[in-house]
Structure 1
Amino acid sequence: MHYIDENHILLFLLQVLVLLGAARTLSALCEAIKIPALAGEILAGILLGPTLFGRLFPSLHAWFFPLDKTQWTMLDTASWLGVFFLLLSSGFHVNVGHALRKGRAAILIGIVGVLVPFAIGYPVFRTLDAMYWGDKATPLSFALFLSVAGSITAISVVARALGDLKISKTSEGSSCTSSMCY
């Protein structure tokens, strides 16, 4: 059994501080040049993740994001809570009355908003090497899982971008947000 000690908590707080600090800083820079804040937050994840930080400074990345099960569980739980609250806040912007009046358009936008990312993601994920799959995955299950996850994530990203651009309350933005949150 894994127990949390003060070192786990200290490192977790440092991780959260650096991740949120970088996300907020880059989102403010993006907002200053009229790009949705979400782009800066995604960029912070790319810069601090294994894609860049892990390749340029592998030992520092391994210290800051150790393979310790307890540490990963803490950070993973925080990230899932973040996804939950992102979806929840996107749902708060749904104008149900407008969605019901514009039902056909909302459904069409929702279907396209899920199918297009799925159609783009599946062939890409199908080509990834087996070392990324996990023990029990097959090429089909791996590609399908990541494609579904990517298309579902696209829904909340679009809703958040509409909110960042302050167009989620417009007629067009409301149609997109409401269809994607259903």
Structure 2
Amino acid sequence: MFNLGGEELTRFLFAIVALLAAANILGYLAERLTIPRVIGEVAGGLLLGPTLMGYFFPDKFHWLFLGFPSESDLLGLMYQLGLIMLMYTSGLKFQHRFERKDAKIGIAIIAGSTIIPFLMGWLSTYLFNPAAFMGSANNEIALKIVIAISIAVTSIPVISKIFQDLGIMHSRFAKIVVGIAGIHDIILWVALAVASGIVSSNTGVNMAVILQSLGVTLGFLVVALFILPWILKRVTSKPANILFRASFLGYFLVLLLGLSDIAGYLNVDVMYGALMAGIATRITLPENLTRRVETSVVEISFSFFIPLYFAIVGLKLDLAKHFSLQYFLIYLLFATIVQTVVVYFTSRLIKEDRLTSLNLAAAMNARGGPGIVLSTVAFSLGIINQEFFAILVMLALVTSWMAGSWIRYVLKSGKRLMPGDENLIIRKPQEEAQFPSIKTRFK
């Protein structure tokens, strides 16, 4: 009971070592080449997966990742844990306070970049046959919701990492974009949770099922954003709270897994619960304790769980057999044009200058982690098939690369990102200070 044979454990750990090494090495090399790290981490999975190793050396691929019956299940567990940690860390980056002068920009872009792209994505399904992307759940409503979300979604983790790497996280531009992305993605995750609820229902799709799913999702959102933080502020530091006294980090991990579990039981979606747990933690704690939680969680998550998750995403992709370059290019062009045009003209409507509007449009196009999460959740629920899964993952990667490249170009050309950042001082992470040389470390 609860046992894994020595040979099976050895084989599984070898697979983890290979995936983790490939993800971290290629992620590091990607950053050296000024490419978002997530692209390198997914590339690690592509290298070891059916796209490359599985195509040229199928026996070696099978031996490494399908060597015993439960190995795929164990890799699936690591994949899900990595996804849960990614959603939690995304929630911890949530910005719920805007400067008063920035509120107008935030509200306008949140409304514009959410509603119009979502509607454009939904309406686009009437111009082509979405059945070509249909998954095993065979649910057209859920598929249309996923397509609509994929056009509108923006990445909090990737755009934050781009700003940190460029040394501009303290800029007015970065604070506005991260704040917008947080609220923007909550709205879109409500839509994904509704799609999940529709698929999970065994009574068929009708207006009652849709309204019930929407009601449960919004109810869960209200509890997570308002009631749970109110409770946590009153019980967390109480002397009788033995769990908090026993383990500071363990207390919030219990909150993470517990809220994710409740979301799963409500058919809201486990990953939505993980996101809400991160946001509830962020809202509850003062800034110094939030940084303590984030530091503790981020170190293990971004060195182990999250790179492993993105590597397994690459492992699940089979670009050699299940990827249409033509469909991808059309979808990339459509998604990029829609989000760029909408954000640009929304910004112009509220009197922002042309360069600021273009910079905001570029940043909001980075689909990154949430784009990949959208594709993996939709694929696991059977909403989309493997071909569309590959298209959505590649869309998330390429748009993140494009956004980072544009912002880097603007900074290198000496132009400002937006008014208020004219005298911006670049504060790049001091890696040498954080990671001393081997010679120094072992003196």
Give the TM-score taking structure 1 as reference length: 0.72
Residue of 103, 107, 118 corresponding to 1:104:
107
CA contact (8 A) 2:8 2:68 kept: no
Shift of 1:54: 1.2
Which residue in the other structure is 2:414 paired with? none
Which residue in the other structure is 2:47 paired with? 47
Structure with the bigger RCO (C-alpha within 8 Å, sep 6+) is 2
Per-residue CA distance 1:91-119 (angstroms, 9 max, x = gap):
11111113997462463376269849x66
Listed as ranges, the matches of 1:47-126 within 5 Å are: 47-66=47-66, 68-98=68-98, 102=103, 104-105=107-108, 107-108=110-111, 111=114, 115=118, 126=131
Shift of 1:146: 7.0
Structure 1: where are the runs of 5+ without partners? Answer: none
CA contact (8 A) 2:27 2:39 kept: yes
Number of equivalent positions? 172
Distance 1:34 1:8, change over 3 A: same
Which residue in the other structure is 2:161 paired with? 164
Distance 1:176 1:43, change over 3 A: farther
Amino acid at match of 2:178: S
CA contact (8 A) 1:26 1:41 kept: yes
Distance 1:88 1:52, change over 3 A: same
Residue of 179, 198, 208 corresponding to 1:175:
179
Amino acid at match of 1:164: K
Which residue in the other structure is 1:20 paired with? 20
CA contact (8 A) 2:98 2:176 kept: no
- Could you say what the CA RMSD is over the residues aligned between the two structures, in angstroms? 3.8
Separation in 2 of the partners of 1:111 and 1:53? Answer: 39
CA contact (8 A) 1:107 1:179 kept: yes
CA contact (8 A) 1:36 1:161 kept: yes
Separation in 1 of the partners of 2:71 and 2:41? Answer: 22
Q: Computing the radius of gyration over CA atoms, which structure comes out larger, 1 or 2? A: 2
Structure 2: where are the runs of 5+ without partners? Answer: 187-443
Give the TM-score taking structure 2 as reference length: 0.33
CA contact (8 A) 2:156 2:178 kept: no
Shift of 1:23: 0.6
Separation in 1 of the partners of 2:87 and 2:49? Answer: 22
CA contact (8 A) 2:23 2:41 kept: yes
1:127 aligns with 2:132: yes
Distance 1:65 1:127, change over 3 A: same
CA contact (8 A) 2:110 2:180 kept: no
